Structure 1
Amino acid sequence: MIPKHAGDRPHPEAAQFRAKQVEVLYDQLHVGLAATVAAASLLIAVFWAAAPRELLAGWAIFFMLTTILRVILAHRYARSPDRYRQASKWLMWFIAGTGISGATWGSTIIFLVPDESFVHAGFATLWVCGLSAGSVAALSIIKGAFFAFSLPAMIPSAVYLMTHGGIEATVGGAQLMFLGFISLSAVRMHKSLVQSLTLQFENIRLVDHLDTEKKKVERLNEQLEKKVLKRTAELAQSNANLERDIIRRQRAEQALFAEKERLQTTLHSIGDGVITTDAGGIVEYLNPVAEKLTGWSYNEARGLPLATVFQIIDEQTREPIADPVTQQLEKTPTTRVTTHKIVISRNGQEYAIQDSAAPISSRKGEILGMVLVFSDITKTRRREQQITHQATHDALTGLINRWEFEHRLERVLATLKAESTEYALCYFDLDRFKIINDTCGHTAGDELLRQVSEVLEGQIRKRDTLARLGGDEFGVLLEHCSLQQAQRVATAIHKAIEDFQFTWEGKSFRIGVSIGLVPITKASMGIAAVLKAADTACYAAKNKGRNCIHVYRETDKELASHRGEVQWMTRIHRALKENYFQVYFQPILPLATEKEEKCYEVFLRLEDGAGGVVLPGAFLPTAERYNLAVKIDRWMIANTFTWLAQNPEPLRTCFINLSGHSLRNKAFLTFIIEQLEKTHIPSAQICFETTETAATANLSCAIRFIKALKAHGCKFSLDNFGSGLSSFAYLKNLPVDFLKIDGLFVKDILDDPIDLTIVRSINEIGHIMEKQTIAERVEKEEVLKKLQEMGINYAQGYWISPPQPLTEMGSLQKVTR
């Protein structure tokens, strides 16, 4: 039970109090156990001769077991870290042990006292009463503990004695009276102990409280002393204090002024324009950037409506836009989000801006004014426009590029679905452009394209779209133009180009143009179909002899050959999809020394469906014309690399041909690097090969491509070297490892001294440039010996070995020629 005190209020630390009571019980347990052991020993001695030995021994064993368990309980309680938090559990165990002990002592009179032995009964009764009396001091701290011992110790024996009658009944009644007396004593003792324990807790709390109050009093005394000293000083020096107040106020005003100056300086120094208004949208402040962008000074703008000072329009529609401050104040919903805004200065100058507005609110949420912040992004907007222009225009000529041209053509095709308007497309290719580009260089070719662009722009209407579609190819999209009108425009373009004369370094050149004209109608099947028809018509114009115009018609006989190319396209697509291509190889024989590496070149073949193969000369021109060359090169790389990874063999270098289209394709370069990493074949084992014409057609792209692969360890070879008009001029800029001398010069070196001289010159210059040479089309033993005498590094041709399927690579080791 929780004790009451101080007006019968519950004890403030009931749990701690209970834990303390339990602790007192366990602290006294060892003394109580020692006393009961001594009493038990004396009782056993007294009853040894009178009591039945078996019962006395059983009682003694049970008593010792009970005592041992209580000792263990006391030991575990002392070692338990949670004994205070689990005081109720430990009290329960204690009361249980005490009750068992009491019952053990109460059983002595019932089981151990011999019949008709009043002396032993009196002794046992006296002994039990003595132990019960002794438990008053040890157990009354908790009444339950006392009664747990005394009741089972005395009541059973008292009842037992009273049932025998005579003097035993008198002794039993006296025993019960004694139980009552010691119970009253235990209750009083309990109250006394609880009060004492309560006083201990109260004293502790009182000491803490007094200590706290003492500290408070000391602090108050200190504060009071300070106040007295301060007040005394203030009264003694009132004039000085007044002066200090004045100084403090002056300092506060100076600090406020400094803060204002800092804010003003910040607003003056930031790069954004700042305008503040009141709740009615009247201008209160402009910083210098806002003054510059609006053209209004602070003094002029103050007090004016914001709409007068800050005038903005939509960059695209040129329509006025409500300023964000007005929209915030009037809570006007914006029907169209405008990202491109222009502020018009007072003097008419325009600035592209990015703006935002925020309210200045009171603590109650009332709008006191607005802050408008806007930044000048004119330069950024111009850069964006430049980027957009670069994305849609050709960098060399300034004309629309192919992407934008196709985009506009797509719009036209969409318009035709709803309108009955006539359109036409001119697709033309410059004739003799490559001759000028090869003989005079790329700079001359670029200048020719720029001048031609200017000529073309002078021949079309403003509404028409002129674009450079690639290389020396151009396109004109004629809007609202019949076929007859389109023919007149094409004729004018043809005549203007024919009359045009290009001059470079004192030399004059004339060029021509092959024009394909296609009407665009509702029946047109899409962008790809229109462009294909235009390209087909241009192809037909070239086949007629170039420098002419051809109008596309489905029934053209001139286009029959072109349809053959379309059939080749279908076969190429199918071969790529269903793996109808095959890889062949041809050995490249080292001539100069035995230390030269053994090499071989791989070739592409196409299954013809009848057990034979088709040579690449039949289908590669079509593939290159219709942008399939890159896909074929991808197939060749993937299959060759896979075979090399699965069949490591002693031939060190494998030559793989690449088209000119692949050299200009960044994605293809990435594909090669990925395949090298995927298959883990040594990159030094791979030598990529391209023709001299393909490499020089776009020299900068070729150089970047070659350097990128050489950085990964690959080698590079220039095929058909000597076929161009300016081979040596380009050679010093191309970082290749091998020169393959054109077979047209090699095959007749025994009979044609000019061919012999060309081959010898290419070999000598190649060696000076530290490049190895390979002679192609070696078809005679005498030619091979002559090449060996000249110091050619390698030879390749049918006399050495014809191309064989790559799966027969093992037979290559048997070549002994």
Structure 2
Amino acid sequence: MLDKAHPEATRFRAKQVEILYEQSHVGQAASIVAALILIAVFWTVTPHRTLAGWAFFFTLVTVLRVGLAHRYARSPDHSKQVGEWLAWFMTGIGISGATWGSAVIFLVPNGSLVHTGFAALWICGLSAGAIATFSIIKGAFFAFSLPALLPSALYLIISGDMKEATVGGAQLMFLGFISLSAVRMHKTLVQSLTLQFENARLVDHLDTEKKKVEKLNEQLEKKVLKRTAELAQANANLQRDIIKRQRAEQALFAEKELLQITLHSIGDGVITTNAEGIVEYLNPVAEKLTGWSCDKARGLPLATVFRVIDEQTREPIADPIAQCLKEGGAIEIANHSVVISRNGQEYAIQDSAAPISSRTGEVLGVVLVFSDVTEARHMTRQITHQATHDSLTGLVNRREFEHRLERVLATLKAESAEYALCYFDLDRFKVINDTCGHVAGDELLRQVSEVLRGQIRKRDTLARLGGDEFGVLLEHCSLKQAQRVATAIHKAIEDFQFTWEGKSFRIGVSIGLVPITKASMGIAVVLKAADTACYAAKNKGRNRIHVYHETDKELASHRGEVQWMTRIHRALKENYFQVYFQPIIPLATEKEEKCYEVFLRLEDGAGGVVLPGAFLPTAERYNLAVKIDRWMIANTFTWLAQNPEPLRTCFINLSGHSLRNKTFLAFIIEQLEKTPIPSIQICFEITEAAATANLSCTIRFIKSLKSHGCKFSLDDFGSSLSSFAYLKNLPVDFLKIDGLFVKDILDDPIDLAIVRSINEIGQIMKKQTIAEWVEKEEVLEKLREIGVNYAQGYWINPPQPLTEMKSPQKR
């Protein structure tokens, strides 16, 4: 234990008291358990009033001790009033010890040695447990054990009974033994606590010393940095002095050395000569490109060391030294220069030469600077080739072909010569490409290109213009010679056999041949003429040659179709199409449903409209019918959404191309979903011919849209001999009787019988019938008499713009 004069003595004492209070909870808990057991043992032998009085007093003491411990725990500063807290604690455990000691005196029945021995043993056990709990302060243990053991031992000794006196003597002996144990435990605990305090004090001391050392290190580091900066500054000053001295002593030498190093390190070749063109110096790059070392080249004429020719003509290039001296300034040598090394290797170069003059202007010599551009020139040629040639076949591409054609047309303005152009398209290429795949198609094009190369002259241009289209520009070639070349090409392709994965294929070629003369109006005109001639060859049955003549009927027809194609594209792009409608009226008075059909019209630019018969054939030939149907559906649906007609059904015509188009069905469904119109008001109209062209495809198409609520009408019914044979398989809602039978039913009994038969079959199959081309009132009445459900025609109402729709009136 620390000396009382020691500065830590008070804190040491406070720690001992703190340990006492912390361990008191365990002792109190054990004491309560022991009291309960003691009460249970004596319950049957001790008067209950006495036992209850002892239990009450024990509980009161225990509660007070617990309250004291709780108050101590909540105290903000335990180090103050240590003596007072210790006194209260000692008082509490003294009373507690006395309470336990009184149990032997008051609770044990007279003459019961067993209960006397149990009570004495129980109190001895509690006193032994107090060694661990209270030994941190020696007096605390004795404050509990002496009141607990001494009075009861004396009581038993003086009781007069030998056996009880023996128990009392045993208690005194036990008190002596545990007192010695408590003293030793006290010493051990005090030494341990003292050691803790010493360790803590040592750690604090070490922290203090560490901070002192760190501060000394920081000060030392600052001094080192300061000294280092001073030394660096002194060193820098010394270096500047050395540099100044070296520059002053070796100015001329340093300048020459710098020049030598520069010439050795640059990536360009450098050769210097005197005014007579005699070599004086070569840098390493020049040595490599010329094959001459500086030592061996020195003193030789420049022409011997630096052999330069034109890359294209292979002619020597003029002496650059003489040229430079003559012009008196820097010159550049031709772009296509090639230097020939001493070992025969060639390098593409770009170079320049400049005179070396003195301060007085006297020419001392010439410096020649040149760089190796072999790789760059090769890359340029490669890029140029890629820009002008087709990557698949290696042939000239369309851009280069047009450039050469433009050059030919320019040549014709200055000279009289004959040229021709072959434009040809491979027949059946698409079949092979679709059947065997694009890899096979590409291989076919490569092999065909090799076949074509063998049929043309070297001065002619063979090009791949796109897909399976090729062109040959025949220079200085008459039309008769061009026909022979075209015939040779035709025969070579016809004889060519393509093999792929064990299968053999033959193809054909449709060739359009165009003579090029001074009258040719430009590239676009020539290419269009060639394309037109190729089309004519295809139109005549493919695999043939067609020579272009402006008076050809086939070409004139093609030009007309091309013009219509252009107009259709423009109409789709700029919305020049219009939607017209014609009412379809019910013939039975009880019918309330009203219908109308929408038609397509094209503005003619002069305030009129063009009927579909003028442009739809061209649209179908050039695969534009699907685009027109898309336009018609989108615009009609938009108008219907803006002008709802709840009691009318709208008939919209579809082409056969649309029925076979893979994406068209999805387009219609998308339009139905995004446009807020009832699908039951839409009836798609298809012709009998289109429906029977691919019956299974048509049935799938109809069923898919009928599942969305749409209706279908079969147009021109009766025009085919097989009409009734397939009608039962087509799930249509309306039959439109072909107008060719309707218009003459008043005069032709056969037409009347056909109309009556179609109507009867339709009624049996629960399909509504519609008669077209009703142009007289008498015809209308006859149709009503037959029982036809609906009628449509010019007498009822001619087609009008959809924007002018009003409630149709029956006439």
Pairwise TM-score range, normalised by the shorter structure: 0.3 to 0.5
Provide the TM-score with structure 1 as the length reference: 0.44
Higher gyration radius (CA)? 2
TM-score with structure 2 setting the length = 0.45
